[in-house]
Structure 1
Amino acid sequence: MEIQWRKSSKSTDAEGNCLEVAILDGEILMRESDDPSVIIRTSRAKLRAFIEGAAAGEFDDLA
């Protein structure tokens, strides 16, 4: 089965640093387009918690 990777329409190939996501067997897969051999696997619930935390500013001190 070939993984169907997706990226945001706001990402462009010229930037060379796009986050791509896919779903495989119920898991969320993530990778950076400039290093596609490294794949992070997580669940929908964990990804949702991370996105909600980022939107709430929980990680602002890391930038």
Structure 2
Amino acid sequence: MTDAPDTEAQDKARKEREKEELYALDISGVEWRSAPGTEQHEERVEIADLPGGAVAMRSSLEPETVLRYTEAEWRAFVLGARDGEFDLEPSVRNGGVAAE
């Protein structure tokens, strides 16, 4: 029989170490890319590949603020986006029709 709480604690500690290592990386030389068709002056999300399958993400409007995701986190996000988990409810702000 395995001790589940101990395994959970080890998992949490491992994930914390991974994040610490990820944020300790020097990413000053990474190559940032954005969606095709966006102009340099347009607001856009930029992505950079990091070692071990990790990914960095930033806004072109605030390039000094960089979020970093482990490979597992990024995979979960991409799969969730493909499944529509982050779809916006129609609103005037995102091209929908205002509620009456």
Identity of aligned residues (%): 34
Tell me which residue corresponds to 1:10.
37
Coordinate RMSD, CA, aligned? 2.1
TM-score between both structures, scaled by the size of structure 2:
0.51
Specify every segment of 5 or more residues in structure 1 that has no aligned partner in the other structure, as ranges: none
Looking at secondary structure, tell me which structure has more strand per residue. Answer: 1
Structure with larger RCO (C-alpha < 8 A, sep 6+): 1
1:45 aligns with 2:72: yes
Q: Distance in 2 between matches of 1:46 and 1:13?
A: 28
User: Residues 42 and 56 from structure 1, CA distance in 2 versus in 1: closer, same or farther, beyond 3 angstroms?
Assistant: same
Compare CA radii of gyration and give the structure with the larger one. Answer: 2
Number of aligned positions between the proteins: 62
1:25 to 51, 54, 64: 51
Q: Distance in 1 between matches of 2:79 and 2:30?
A: 26
The offset of 1:51, in angstroms, is 1.5
TM-score between both structures, scaled by the size of structure 1:
0.74
Specify every segment of 5 or more residues in structure 2 that has no aligned partner in the other structure, as ranges: 1-27, 91-100
**Structure 1 stretches of at least 4 aligned residues deviating more than 6 Å after TM superposition:** none
